[in-house]
Structure 1
Amino acid sequence: MTEQIAHEPLDVLRLRARRRQAGRRSFRQALMRAATGIIGEIKIASPSRGRLIDNARPPASIARAFEAAGIDAISVVTEEDFFHGNLALLSKIRRDTRLPVLRKDFLTTPYEIVQSAAHGADAVLLITAGLADDQLQPLLSEALEYDLDVVLEIHDEQELVRALTFDPSIVGVNNRNLRTFEVSLNVSKRLINRIPRHILAISESGLRSPTDVIAMKQAGARACLIGEALLGADDPRAFIAACRPAFVA
């Protein structure tokens, strides 16, 4: 973090974030108005699966293909050590597509929120499990300052209760236990119906097929984040088309 601050001082980032503010794309509105509610994720690698995108497939071209296939927003994993992402990747995808972009990372400081806005993010993910209440509030305030949508991520009932005290507009239910890495769609099935209807509920992780997307819609999800299944799909357009009936009112 010290190296990042030296390279990009906070006051410089604030100026860049302000300049970008007028062009912010609403992540929440894109999902709320969509018939599909699908977030496609660009993730270079994962700790469990290794490299997911090889050098022959430029990530920005994949993002454009996802956009052409009909997704409504893009998630970009920027964590460097385990997922091989970076902010330059986020910035390029934001430039090369017309969709709102979510920065997905282990964000813990207000500096990183300003950094996200300066590099073109329209929304940020905050993991409730990794942040104390006195850490969360400054991050939420900083996001509000730059018109960033916030996905407040939870995994269990206790985290949901905590998250709701912050009056979130978006809650992401992570089907993956970040301690054990076990994945179960039952997490979304159990928790989403406890989220007030005015809050946009997203089901994240473990959605491997359109059938899973349909199941999450039936559980009450307004949107789904699809990562490895979409990256591995032979025909992303057909994959997303098969998901559309799940989101028809």
Structure 2
Amino acid sequence: MSSKRILITGAGSGFGEGAAIGLARAGHEVIATTQIYPQVTALREKAADLGLGNLRVQKLDIRDPYDVEAALKFDIDVLFSNAGIGEAGPVSEIPVDLLRNNFETNVFAPLNLAQKFIRKFIDEGRPGKVVFTSSMGGLFTPAGFGPYVSTKHALESLAEALDGELRPFNIKIQTVNPGAYLTGYNETMAETAFRWLDDSKNFNKRADVQAGFDALIGVPEGQLDPQEMIDAMIRIVPSDTGKFRNVVPAAVEQMLKESQQAAWTHTV
């Protein structure tokens, strides 16, 4: 596998930061982008401390049209679309504007950026690749996390459509689907519900919602070592071949297959 030029969104923390550093260490030319300038400064300092001259850090808020246009000036081989936010809480009562905002960041903005780079690849007559960070939640829906995982279900569908549409142009599409890794993302996402849930107004009670979160992410199976997923991203993102969908770890892939099979006999 040759060295690749890779742009990563959402590299200010978690998987994105870890993958950016790991890909640069592996010899790739990496443009790591973050949503806000303080994250740019922090990651630049880390890159300098690590001696990674091939890790460039830039600001890219994927919902900012000026940032997007500036990013399109980079010549890249791979777009690793990793940026996203999470809203949690009961779908039956979540304010719809919060859900709409989650879709803007996790679905519409990534698609807009991908479309622009795809057109650039096509206009330049060269191959390219887009990798989307989806989630295990893109393939099933646990109660309490419906707002966030519905955006990943949508992203899965768009990625699948892009895969079929772009094969004639030698542009490859993949998803990476992390399990419940302990990056802090799931834990802070769970907190979002409690800024609007009110026991005096909502029929979903705060204690019950919290208990549901604890059952999913407050157990060892919900706090996996994120380095496993970062290592998988470092391997998958620059690869020339591989699976369209990449669920990690293998135990979660098996669980998802069983869950999807069970859906065919689910009754109400």
What is the TM-score normalised by the length of structure 2? 0.35
Give the number of the structure whose alpha-carbon radius of gyration is greater.
2
User: Which protein has the bigger helix share?
Assistant: 2
TM-score, normalization by structure 1? 0.37
